[in-house]
């Protein structure tokens, strides 16, 4: 298999899932002038596909590093961020703004992409094809330039290791061979390096629908 074939298998796997859950973390090292600033978040996802056009989705993240330090200055503020799509509508929740509605899930994802360090964008767009147009999608652009590092698969029985360069981005992926799940991704840019780790994931398991409640934190 080529690197592009492996990523296509990842995409097909996520797009066919009936349910999905995960937890994990994002770690970002951001260059601010002559200094490096650490930031990131821990996250958890829940997803249920009811039909081709209908689904439930929830992504919750808690900031760490510089963002959580800013919130900690106000003792009345928590550190819980949520995007939620359920039978009642689309909702977003930030510590300073509280709970509010959103016209669509793609807009909610776009609004949260920066403050979630891209985590909600990558996860939601893997599961749902309407989050971003296919021609502009990060993983489609990535697919055109993916390579298998020499002898990488021979060194590991469990994972495919992929690399790609898109303009000024250097991207590395770790994909589990047994089920084509995405385990790790590193995105290096001139001003930042961001590590994504997906952990404790489940494919097509039974879900408690209360997890999609917009008031559940």
Higher pLDDT, 151 or 120: 120
Delineate the domains of the chain, giving CATH numbers in brackets. 3-212 (2.50.20.10)
Which pLDDT band, with edges at 50, 70 and 90, does 115 fall under?
confident
CB crowding 17-41: b at 16 or more within 10 Å, else e: eebbbbebbbbbbbeeeeeeeebbb
Question: Can you say whether the dihedral through the CA atoms of 1, 149, 199, 14 is positive or negative?
Answer: negative
pLDDT (tens digit per residue) in 53-107: 899 999 999 988 755 554 444 555 678 899 999 999 999 999 888 999 999 999 9
| Residue 43 pLDDT > 50 | yes
- In this prediction, residues 46-59 reach a mean pLDDT of 96
Is residue 35 over pLDDT 60? yes
Q: Do 83 and 59 touch, CB atoms closer than 8 A?
A: yes
pLDDT at 75: 52
- Report pLDDT digits (tens) over 165-213: 888 899 999 999 999 999 999 999 999 999 999 999 999 999 999 999 9
13 band by pLDDT with thresholds 50, 70 and 90:
very high
* Span of 29-38, 84-93, 107-116 with lowest mean pLDDT: 29-38
CB 131 within 8 A of CB 105: yes
Tally Cβ neighbours within 10 Å of residue 149.
13
pLDDT of residue 190: 92
Q: So what's the pLDDT on residue 99?
A: 95
Average pLDDT over residues 120-127: 97
Q: Percentage of residues in the chain with pLDDT exceeding 70?
A: 91
- Chain mean pLDDT for the chain: 90
What does the pLDDT read at residue 154?
56
Asked if residue 56 lies in contact with residue 85, where contact means CB atoms within 8 angstroms, the answer is yes
Q: What is the pLDDT of residue 71?
A: 45
């Amino acid at each position: 298999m080529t690197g592009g074939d492996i990523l296509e298998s990842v995409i097909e796997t996520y797009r066919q899932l009936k349910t999905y859950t995960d937890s994990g973390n994002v770690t970002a090292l951001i260059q601010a002038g002559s200094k490096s600033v650490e930031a990131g978040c821990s996250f958890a996802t829940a997803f249920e596909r009811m039909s081709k056009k209908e689904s439930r989705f929830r992504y919750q993240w808690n900031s760490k590093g510089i963002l959580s330090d800013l919130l900690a200055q106000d003792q009345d503020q928590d550190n819980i961020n949520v995007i939620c799509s359920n039978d009642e509508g689309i909702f977003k929740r930030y510590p300073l703004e509280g709970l509010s509605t959103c016209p669509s899930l793609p807009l909610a994802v776009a609004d949260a992409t920066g403050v979630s360090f891209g985590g909600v964008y990558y996860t939601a767009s893997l599961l749902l094809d309407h989050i971003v147009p296919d021609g502009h999608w990060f993983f489609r652009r990535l697919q055109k330039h993916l390579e298998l590092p020499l002898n990488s698969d021979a060194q590991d029985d469990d994972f495919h290791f992929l690399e790609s360069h898109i303009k000024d981005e250097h991207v590395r992926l770790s994909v589990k061979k047994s089920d084509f799940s995405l385990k790790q991704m590193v995105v290096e840019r001139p001003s930042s390096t961001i590590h994504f780790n997906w952990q404790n994931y489940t494919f097509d398991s039974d879900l408690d629908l209360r997890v999609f409640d917009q008031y559940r934190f």
